[in-house]
Structures are given as C-alpha cells and as structure tokens.
Amino acid sequence: MEERSYSLTVGTGEEARLDRFVSERLDLSRTRVQKLVAAERVTVDGRPAKKSEIVVPGALIEVIVPAPEPVEIEAEDLPIDIVHEDEWLLVVHKAAGMVVHPAPGHRSGTLVNALLWHVPGLSDVGGRQRPGIVHRLDRHTSGLLVVAKTDAAHRGLADALKARRVKRLYTAVVWGHLQEESITIDAPIGRDEKDRKRMAVSDDGRRAVTRVTVRERWQRADLLDVMLQTGRTHQIRVHLAHLGHPVVGDQVYGLGWERGLGGPTRRWVDELARRTKRQFLHAAQLIFDHPITGERMRFRADLPPDLANVARWAAEA
C-alpha cells in the first residue's frame, strides 16, 4: 500500500477540532491524526496544521498518510465456508468468533489468513493487510461476506457499496419491543469521545442509515430484519442501542441491559440471556450485481445452530 494524499473541504455545519474532523472523515484514530499533525503531514489552507485548532466551513485540509510498515500475512489451513467462487470473487459464510483481517492483537487465525491458504490470489486494492476485503463483519457476528480476487472486482464492488447498490440484510434479536413494526434510523455515527474502541451516535459523526422491520415478537424481545443503507463500524449495534433496544448478547453496547426487564417474565429474560452466548446478529442475505459479468447475485445463509436454537426456544417459550 503506497503513501496516500487526501484533500478534504470542511462543509457547512462541519466546524470542529481538526483532529476530530480528520479522524471522522478518514476513519483514523485521533491519536493517529495527531501524530500526522506533529509530523507536519497535515495542512490547513496551505499552512501547517495544529491538532487542537478549529476548522471552519470552506477550509481546505490536505493530509498525507504514509504507507504502513509491511507485515507478512501467513496463509493458514483453517476451515472456511465458501458459498460461491468464480474467477473474480468469492462469497463466504464467516463463523462467529473469527476476525476478518489481521490487526494488532490478531495477526493469525483470521479470515484473511484462511483465504490465502484456499485461494491463490486476492485483490490488494484495500492494502496488503486487508487483501480481498471489501466490507467487514464484527468478530462475533456470523454471516455472508463478499471477497474480491481481482482488483477490477474489488473496485466494482467498492463502488457499488458506496452507491448503496449492495443489499445487506441481517437478522437480529433485541431486548424489549419496538413501538413500530418498521422504522428507519438515520443518525450519524462516530468514535465515542470517552472510549475510542467504541462507536456512538454523534453530531460530529458520518451519516448512517439503518432500516429495521419486526419479524416476530417474543415475550420481552423482538426478532428483526435489519437492512444496512450505509456501512459504518458497529452500525447496527450502535443504532439499535441508541433506539433503546440493544442487541441481545452484545457485550459492548447492551451489557446488563436486560436487568431492567423485571416483572412476571423475568425468568424468561434471564433464560434468554443465559442461552445467548454471543451477540444475536447474523448477516443473512447478500444481493449485488456481479462487478464483471453484471449478473444479479443472491445469497442467503440460515441462522447457525447456536442462534437457531436460541430463536426456537424463545419463540416457543
């Protein structure tokens, strides 16, 4: 991955601290942005930037991000569920617990490590640390991912995602009952100011849109169909928690939330929490036009056994 240059113009209503603005626009940590500022790799209207300065509408910010130090990724003979494969791309069903690509603390055992063993070559458009990866799933989310084998396929898929032409439908279970059968959540998401490992709904964040439909209503939880319109980090989990209905089993955005669900159904609530060993979130459907052939591609992945067993119990209890 080569050194990259970015030109960012501050829009109306986007006035903010420089480090926060650049962090949100480029999806970099604020610490990373501050280091770029200290290295004089960030300018505002042609002059060296200051990390704490306030940038105003109309300001032109230029950022130079150096190439990362190369890290060799080893191919590993790990089991993966390949749903579809052709000469340009793959669709895989990622297991819960598997990290998508290497990162600090996860240099091995990732989906990329497994793919490199099973596939001769992957696109490097996304960088050497994320070969073939067009979009991601959280570690504890199961379900469908499309992976690019060629650069042309990668660019085509990335453009389709940006233009919202890729349909991604998830199955989720949340605590409590939504007031409406269908709702669109349109709320910007950015880094949590108090904990950069978390995301949060924030006026300074990037626009995020999620469509939610209730499929089944259980005693004190709802089974939902969730459609992503954008693809922000932790988007579904953050939006549903913001709505007041966090994903069951979410240890980051919904930890302990069920304690407020008392009354005669408390035993049911406790049992659902006990049975759900990880966040109840599954990428169930993936629909897109093939970036090379133009063919309409449709894929569906049923709930894996751990979540299917929970859903069966909850619906019958």
Task: Say which amino acid occupies 117.
Answer: W
Is residue 65 within 8 Å of 27, Cβ to Cβ? no
Q: Which of 77, 86, 124, 138 is flagged as catalytic?
A: 138
Q: What is the pLDDT of residues 277-293, one digit of tens each?
A: 999 999 999 999 999 99
Residue 99 has pLDDT above 80, yes or no: yes
pLDDT at 192: 87
**Token representation of residue 221:** 């939880």
pLDDT tens-digit readout, 27-52: 777 788 898 999 999 999 999 998 78
For the chain, the average pLDDT equals 92
The burial class, CB within 10 Å (0-12 / 13-18 / 19+), for 201 is middle
Quick check: is 195 catalytic? no
Q: What is the pLDDT of residues 171-186, one digit of tens each?
A: 999 999 999 999 999 9
